[in-house]
Structure 1
Amino acid sequence: MLQKRLVYITLFTIFFIAVGAVSVIAENQNPESCVNCHEGAARDWERGSKSEFMLCVDCHGEAHTGPGDAHLVEVPTPKDCAVCHPQEVERFEEGKHAFAWEAMLAVPTFQDMPKAATDKGCVLCHQIGYEWDDGSRGRCDSCHSRHVFSAEEAREPESCGHCHTGDHPQYEMWQSSKHGMIYAIEQDPERAPTCVTCHMPEGDHFVMTAWGFLGVRGEEPYAEWEADREKILYALNEMGPARAPEVMRETMGEWEELRAEMIDICSQCHATSYAQRDLEKSDALLREADRVNAQIVDLTNQFYEEGLIDERTRFNTFRDATANRFATYMGAFHNSPLYAWDKGFLALTSDMVYLRDDLIQEKKLDIFGGKIKQSLFLGGTALVIAVAGLLAFTVVTVKRKKKEEGSSNEKEKHDDN
């Protein structure tokens, strides 16, 4: 009888534990339970369309049940997003943003800067290409901010402006263009194009352009331009950007394909011939910027080789000139006079003039210093010769006087005899 009671008690205990476990799991799968600790995230989640057919555990797993096991929460990667968005993830991983993390690590100065600076500066934007342990690349929430994950929000220019400012200010270029001005007034993408109109047509996550981030291409059909490009690529390699992947088109075929795609996009609003001519004008300004930048590279290297500047100054000069070159051609393609001219070509040519004048000044000082040294040397030599001559004259004079005195004494002795 006692054994039966023990069996019944055991079975009832297991039953109640199982029921309790199911209740806990069910409660944890209920987004309302997440609100207790994650009020802001849960509120954003409710605002998004995904709350209509997904639960928190679909992305974060079931292991995390409370404050004591936060380390067990699963962080979704692009592989998780690809379950519902395979085409978007595939195109993203083929495009330039997927290599942003790798590009950041390729720049030598990133390793030299304090982690506190890179965490709040570089990482916040370059994490769009973060490399996950499962082999996937990207942070979808860089544009589709969590936990709303809104496509509408990601299409707004301000979403791009979060990163495309500062030392690559494409958002600011667009803002100061006629396109950006009209959009600011009317807020109508049918009236004026936004970032995604030109760079993500029909939601394509590839986001590649003909000239790429560096404004160079692997094959250059113009010999003179290629000579300047070699100097520019030399500087870009020294600084690091050219070491990153997918920063330029390797063949003219790739370049021409992406140029044709951009002309098609522009032709939705403009005549094809106008679009082609306008892009060619920007090509021409890039050519002029390269000519000036190549001279800056030559002058800077001459300063360095002659010991007039150190390695850090040389690097900073390359960097400043590169930033002004970027502003020139990117400003041109975004039709921003502010960047194509004031912050671009004018600043770039000023860099070159200042460098040239500094070098001339240093040369003048070298020549002037050389003349002083030469004068001092010649003067010193003349002085030595004069002193030596005076000494020789003195010695000869003294000897002559002694000889004359000796002769006089001999004569006096002869007369006395």
Structure 2
Amino acid sequence: MGGLLLLVQGGFLGAAQAAVDKAPKTLSETSKECVACHKKKTPGIVQHWGGSKHYRANVGCYECHKADAKDKDAFIHDGKKTKVHISIIVSPKDCAQCHEQENAEFAASHHSKAGRILGSLDNLLAEVVEGNNGMVTAGFPEGVSAAAVNGCWQCHGSQVKVLKDGELDPATWPNTGIGRINPDGSEGSCTACHARHRFSVAQARNPENCGKCHLGPDHPQKEIYDESKHGIQFYANKDKMNLDRPKWVVGEDYDAAPTCATCHMSATPKQPVTHDVGMRISWNNRPPVSVRPEKADAKMGLPGKDVPWDDRREAMKDVCTNCHNGDYVDAFYTQYDGLVTLYNEKFAKPGLALMALTKPLLKPAKFSNRIDFVWFELWHHEGRRARHAASMMGPDYTHWHGTYELAKNFYSEFIPELEELVREGEHSGDAAKQQAAKALQAKIDEVLNSRDHRWYLNKMDPQEAAQRKKAAEEFKARYK
């Protein structure tokens, strides 16, 4: 358990003194005024707040929404008797007044940096390939893509633009994207998981809470969870989960099933809660080739760069061993690592090498070539599905939605497209393209003649072919 100790000593899971030590004795006069008005105008908000821990702690509207007159998004609320400045957005910096440790952990996580997708390859798709500049607002006089505004930004977060008098540009607000870039410079949105104004802990612990973003063709964790034994156990025993308990320690307060929160964030008898969801993950399966998480953290300048993957794995194993024995958990990780290695070595690394050689033969604009889409979906969709599903014990998504789709498209789409590029280059009359086509063909030959792919050329090793024939005959004999 040395990894757990390292995490605690490193400050990722250790105790920290909150900026506000005590809750107010009574609700402030300003918040009382807010409540009196909003009971008439937006009664649902008041009811939600009335069911929250904030209400019981005398933390009201003003305590969260108060602002300094110098804040970019500050304004004086119309109709207030006491002229105070407030802001619409409650940022992680605001929440840190009371939740200092949670904010520090979240700020160190990949979740808080999700807004950095802006300008990435994914956003090129939403802004240009799928969209246009047809949505014009005050903050975007030259226009912005409605596909990005309503799609990518709602999960990853927008960069909120402030207009005059604290008004927020409608292209960037409303937005609860988990990596939202706020007017005060903070990154993130606590309400991405802790929906206002009830901030229900039970809701945050439910798998559906994560499903707002973690589903779909490229990261279907919610669907994977639903098909896994963990998900089956959860839905069959949800009434035994004690989701609304203040203390929620696996093995003590519940044992029916784990949720997303159990594995990635919540307390065990040996670990406290953490809001850095990467501290128990031992592979980063987001990029074309899976990498260890400390490498990804270093690239983003996160403190997790100093936490080795095997320490993080020990932290996750600590969660698992509240219900499974050590041999079971070790065997699971053998299976998972095997799938990641298979994907990396058979498809991802050769695919990247082949794509690098296509550049001189392609039209220069990204996604103006068919092979751009084929390769993107190979790693970004099928490859991710297989890897994520293996990590969560979802067999159907590992195989039929993952490695099957990956292999089918590698051999029936990717390789033929590469061969077509070779033919076009050879007949182009352009010496540079002809040379590029020759280099690409050599790499195709190298890849297809490798141990992983030579079956495609009908060059399977005779011994392996004989073994497969024998196994098939035995199967038929067994089930005549």
Say whether the fold is shared (TM-score over 0.5): yes
Q: CA RMSD in A?
A: 3.5
Structure 2 alignment gaps of length 5 or more: 1-28, 68-75, 133-144, 157-176, 242-254, 268-272, 430-480
Match of 1:332 among 384, 387, 390: 390
1:35 alignment partner, SS class: helix
Match of 2:204 among 146, 149, 154: 154
Amino acid at match of 2:256: R
Please state if 1:39 is matched with 2:43: yes
Equivalent residue pairs, number: 325
Partners of 2:395 and 2:46 in 1: CA distance = 44
Please state if 1:192 is matched with 2:260: no
Partners of 2:120 and 2:409 in 1: CA distance = 26
Match of 1:293 among 328, 341, 348: 348
Please state if 1:207 is matched with 2:277: yes
TM-score scaled by length of structure 2: 0.60
Amino acid at match of 1:99: K
Q: 1:12-411 residue pairs with structure 2 within 5 A?
A: 29-52=33-56, 53-61=58-66, 63-66=76-79, 73-74=86-87, 75-107=89-121, 109=124, 111-112=127-128, 113-114=131-132, 115-126=145-156, 127-166=177-216, 167-187=218-238, 188-189=240-241, 190-202=255-267, 203-208=273-278, 209-214=281-286, 215-217=290-292, 245=300, 254-290=308-344, 291-307=346-362, 311-312=366-367, 313=369, 314-322=371-379, 323-354=381-412, 355-360=414-419
1:192 alignment partner, SS class: coil
Amino acid at match of 2:102: E
The CA deviation at 1:348 is 1.0
1:36 alignment partner, SS class: helix
User: Computing the radius of gyration over CA atoms, which structure comes out larger, 1 or 2?
Assistant: 1
The CA deviation at 1:273 is 2.1
1:201 alignment partner, SS class: coil
Preserved contact between residue 228 and residue 392 of structure 2 (Cα < 8 Å): yes
Q: Which moved more, 1:305-314 or 1:201-210?
A: 305-314
The CA deviation at 1:101 is 1.0
Partners of 1:369 and 1:64 in 2: CA distance = 67
Amino acid at match of 2:207: P
Identity %: 27
In the superposition, relative to structure 1, how do residues 367 and 145 fare at CA in structure 2: closer, same or farther (>3 Å)?
closer
Q: 1:3-14 residue pairs with structure 2 within 5 A?
A: none
2:393 alignment partner, SS class: coil
Partners of 1:80 and 1:141 in 2: CA distance = 12
CA deviation profile, 1:113-140 (whole Å, cap 9, x unmatched)? 4431112111111121223343432211
The CA deviation at 1:272 is 1.2
CA deviation profile, 1:276-319 (whole Å, cap 9, x unmatched)? 22112111111111121223334444555445997423432231
Amino acid at match of 2:334: E
The CA deviation at 1:247 is 9.3
Structure 1 alignment gaps of length 5 or more: 1-24, 221-240, 371-417
Preserved contact between residue 127 and residue 147 of structure 2 (Cα < 8 Å): no
The CA deviation at 1:155 is 0.8
2:322 alignment partner, SS class: coil
In the superposition, relative to structure 1, how do residues 325 and 35 fare at CA in structure 2: closer, same or farther (>3 Å)?
same
The CA deviation at 1:368 is 11
Amino acid at match of 1:217: R
Preserved contact between residue 112 and residue 179 of structure 2 (Cα < 8 Å): yes
TM-score scaled by length of structure 1: 0.68
In the superposition, relative to structure 1, how do residues 183 and 41 fare at CA in structure 2: closer, same or farther (>3 Å)?
same
Amino acid at match of 1:295: P
